[in-house]
Structure 1
Amino acid sequence: MSPFSKKFDPQSDLPDLSGKVAIVTGGNAGIGYATVKHLARLGAKVYVAARSEEKLAATVERIQSDDDIDNDLIQPLLLDLADARKAKAAAEEFIEMEDRLDILRAYEQSVDAVAGSMMINHISPFVFTQTLLPLMKTTSEETDSDVRIVNVTSVMHKLPTPAQGRFRNLDDFNQDFAKTSMPMLLQYAYSKLANVVYTRELQRRLTCANTRIAVLAVHPGLVNTYAHRLALPSLLQPLASALMRAFLRRPAVGAYNSVWAAAAPDVKLKDLGGKYVEPIGKVVPPSKVALKEEVGQELWATTEEFLKSIGLELPAMST
């Protein structure tokens, strides 16, 4: 489908999700908020994960006021991805509350310094996902299961050069791109490359272990969000705001690709695990560096090295 196609309708084109449980990180605003509503309208019980308790409560109340959504389907989950330890604690709290997890839609945005971008966009989501993985594996063993992990990335993941797009050590993680013309944009793009690389490496490991979970990396399309404006130099932000309002899609439409990846039958029928998907449901090659298996292995190893340095160890996965 065209990125601007009006033919796709989540409510009529996707299956009923009654009985399924989902987590949407960053669910209090933008495309995360829209994703929560789309999944709940399909019948899924959705945990809205966000880091501000006050905003989280307000978001849940706002969604529950929608006449199209059953109030019991919307639940809060306090999740602070700025701290990997808190991400692990949130996942453990969820495991205490639920005995299944069918859909994990992982997405946050940070355009702060590199350490902040990599922590919020990759490291903490890695911890959150890996901690939840045993529960998702158990869910995947049920008859007719269809478990999905949806990592929201960006087409900007293609911006780093092969030399810039490496994850060999913590120095790589902390690149500041200071010698480039748009360092903040490249910091963001680097963390989005990590999302694609992690998706492919996690899928490879799950497949090797014969675990029936599909992991996809999705680009939501060009969406009018505040974080995208922040990635630009300050002088360009007012112009960017005007252009985004005029030409970019609303968050409700920007959520379509995430919802498609979370629920479309084609993901299972066509074995799309590990793929990079652009709107809507279009499988395209990611950047060349993302296709290199050794890059996935080095990302995994360096992430685990950092986590061990702060006292966090996760269950090992086969390589």
Structure 2
Amino acid sequence: MDVIHGIVDRWTFYPAGASLLDLTGKVVIVTGGNTGIGYWTVLHLARKGAKVYLAARNEGKALEAIKNMTEAGIGSGQVVWLPFDLKDPRLAKKAAEGFLSREKRLDVLINNAAFLTGPYNTDQDGISEVVMVNHISTFLFTQTLLPLMIETSKAPDSDVRLVNVASVAHLDGPAANPDIRFKSIEDFNGEYKEVFWPDAARYGVSKLMMVIYTTELQRRLSAKSIPITCISLHPGSVDTDWAWRTPYPRLAAIAFKLFFIKPDQGSYTSCFAAASPLVKADPDKYKGQYITPVGRIVAKNPNAAKVGLAEELWETTEKFLEGLGLYKPMER
């Protein structure tokens, strides 16, 4: 399935080009910005004048990425490292609080960092690693920053956006099961041993969680007439080292090289969601939507439209984080 999507992406792909807004004076966070899609997203947005916080775990790799960007040219923009780790929700909250101590506005948050595949593993808090990184810590990081985003949205001519980099994987496998539930941590921790590639199944479910979260957050913000645009997206099938984590790594690596797009191209849809003038001109068209390269609104998994399922996901996540003393639910 991914190879088919990759072929479609490669041969129907068109670049965002220079058609991005001037971001001078804007503050942006890109998580996982030291490599791959995130690296190019940071670079393109900095070149439009933004002050971009490159959120990454490894200081050495982050500073090396910033050095490379600076040498390549970032124009009037700035790139700043933000210490950041999603494997532990305590560190995710610390990263958000660190940002809040430094800035008085946040115009765009791009949740790009992700855990791809690996053996099933639960962390010190009893949560599947892929769910902790791709959903729970991302939820906490975003919700901690949300009050500042709301405050920023009150300014004249504001254009505040939340961009969640999901995946076409949220459409397939167990994620597509109409009976999927998120009522408990046990529901979060599915191993999916019965499927051919359990790692990919767990990843797909975690990305469904991200799409559901995006949709539900937009619903809640819009109900309060808060002018923030939330978008989830599939960046395209990108040639990354994920090939070497598949059941047939050598064959996958060849297919990725032949048919998949490069990380620079993979950043275009994130850049569109973050800074396209089309989104600013008609935000209601894009609010809560799921897009593919470049900027095409497409159908999301039907499970993402189920308000009851979204409330389950939200409440289970909040209850877990409350139990750790990390989160107090916002008034609905």
* TM norm structure 1: 0.93
Q: Tell me which of 144, 147, 150 is aligned to 2:157.
A: 144
1:213-292 → structure 2 map (5 Å cutoff): 213-227=228-242, 229-230=244-245, 232-233=246-247, 236-270=248-282, 271=284, 272-292=286-306
Residues 167 and 233 in structure 2, CA contact (< 8 A), matched pair in contact too: yes
1:75-114 → structure 2 map (5 Å cutoff): 75-110=80-115, 111-112=117-118, 113=120
What is the deviation of 1:229?
A: 4.4
What is the deviation of 1:69?
A: 3.5
Residue in structure 1 matched with residue 124 of structure 2 by the alignment: none
1:58 aligns with 2:64: yes
In structure 2, what residue type is equivalent to 1:8?
Answer: P
Runs of 4+ in 1 over 3 A off after TM superposition: 2-7
What is the deviation of 1:41?
A: 1.0
Distance 1:253 1:14 in 2: 15
Q: Deviations over 1:122-172 (max 9, x none)?
A: 111101100000111111000000000000000110112325632111111
For the structure 1 residues 7 and 107, does the alpha-carbon distance in structure 2 shift closer, same or farther, using more than 3 Å as the test?
Answer: closer
1:26 aligns with 2:38: no
What is the deviation of 1:96?
A: 0.8
Q: Deviations over 1:209-259 (max 9, x none)?
A: 2211000001001101223642x22xx011101110111100000000000
For the structure 1 residues 175 and 276, does the alpha-carbon distance in structure 2 shift closer, same or farther, using more than 3 Å as the test?
Answer: same
Distance 1:9 1:209 in 2: 32
Residue in structure 1 matched with residue 169 of structure 2 by the alignment: 156
Residues 46 and 74 in structure 1, CA contact (< 8 A), matched pair in contact too: yes
Percent of paired sites with the same residue: 43
Residues 109 and 227 in structure 1, CA contact (< 8 A), matched pair in contact too: no
Residue in structure 2 matched with residue 179 of structure 1 by the alignment: 194
Gaps of 5+ in 2: 1-7, 122-127
Distance 1:32 1:277 in 2: 17
Residue in structure 2 matched with residue 198 of structure 1 by the alignment: 213
In structure 2, what residue type is equivalent to 1:303?
Answer: T
Superposed CA RMSD in Å reads 1.6
Residues 88 and 131 in structure 1, CA contact (< 8 A), matched pair in contact too: yes
What is the deviation of 1:23?
A: 0.3
Residue in structure 2 matched with residue 133 of structure 1 by the alignment: 146
Residue in structure 1 matched with residue 309 of structure 2 by the alignment: 295
Q: What secondary structure, in the 3-state scheme, does the structure 1 residue paired with 2:101 have?
A: helix
Q: What secondary structure, in the 3-state scheme, does the structure 1 residue paired with 2:53 have?
A: strand
For the structure 1 residues 135 and 157, does the alpha-carbon distance in structure 2 shift closer, same or farther, using more than 3 Å as the test?
Answer: same
Q: Tell me which of 143, 162, 168 is aligned to 2:183.
A: 168
Residues 16 and 272 in structure 2, CA contact (< 8 A), matched pair in contact too: no
Residues 131 and 314 in structure 1, CA contact (< 8 A), matched pair in contact too: no
Q: What secondary structure, in the 3-state scheme, does the structure 2 residue paired with 1:65 have?
A: helix
Residues 63 and 69 in structure 1, CA contact (< 8 A), matched pair in contact too: no
Distance 2:255 2:68 in 1: 29
